[in-house]
Amino acid sequence: MLSEALMKQLIRDVPDFPAPGVMFRDITPVLQDAKAFREVVDSMVECVAPMKPDVIVGIESRGFILGAPVALQLGVGFVPVRKAGKLPADTIRAEYALEYGTSVVEMHRDGIEAGMRVAIVDDLLATGGTAKAAVQLIEELGGEVAGAAFLIELEFLHGRNQLEGYEVCTLVKY
């Protein structure tokens, strides 16, 4: 397995993206390295398997890249959470706060059945707003949030506080 130090070597720092003063953590080099990508997915499976999910929810867009192979390895389904207006069937929506303003995510109304255990997978836990919105969608449909797994956690933004009471697993912390 890749150590946290090796994963950090592969995660590219992009200063001033998408805005001045922001250090973007780019996982593209991890995805380009087949061995590293496999090991990250395997590590995420190790995080999520004990949660015993019935389904994985992946948050747009890098949560799709990581969540779908985690779901396949665990032999469970995958449900996308997308930006508003991107899903074709009947949806539910949750609004969440951004640094300046708000945003909305949606999930298909038939994506989660009452009583399902759900694990959320995404690439990044920053302020926790998007993950908390996914929790709201899952619970609105009667699902039980078993926990969440992230490749990267930006600890200084305290996003874990938004997920208080839920199991959270992260592979790399900044």
Q: Whole domain around residue 86: which residue ranges? A: 51-173
CA-to-CA distance for 13 and 173, rounded, in angstroms?
14
What is the three-class DSSP state of 109?
coil
Residue 164, domain member (yes or no): yes
Whether 99 is a known active-site residue: answer yes
In the set 62, 82, 106, 153, the catalytic residue is 62
CATH code for the domain of 78:
3.40.50.2020
Is 93 designated active site?
Answer: no
What pTM was estimated for this model as a whole?
A: 0.96
Answer whether 125's CB lies under 8 Å from 171's CB.
no
Q: What is the pLDDT of residues 105-155, one digit of tens each?
A: 999 999 999 999 999 999 999 999 999 999 999 999 999 999 999 999 999
Domains contained in the chain, number: 1
Asked whether residue 99 carries a pLDDT value surpassing 90, the answer given is no
Q: Which of 25, 93, 95, 99 is catalytic?
A: 99
Q: What is the C-alpha to C-alpha distance for residues 91 and 151, in angstroms, rounded to an integer?
A: 27
Give the amino acid at 121: V
- Residue 61 in any domain: the answer is yes
Q: Map tokens 């992009």 to a residue.
A: 14
Minimal CA–CA distance to 134: which of 99, 107, 169? 107
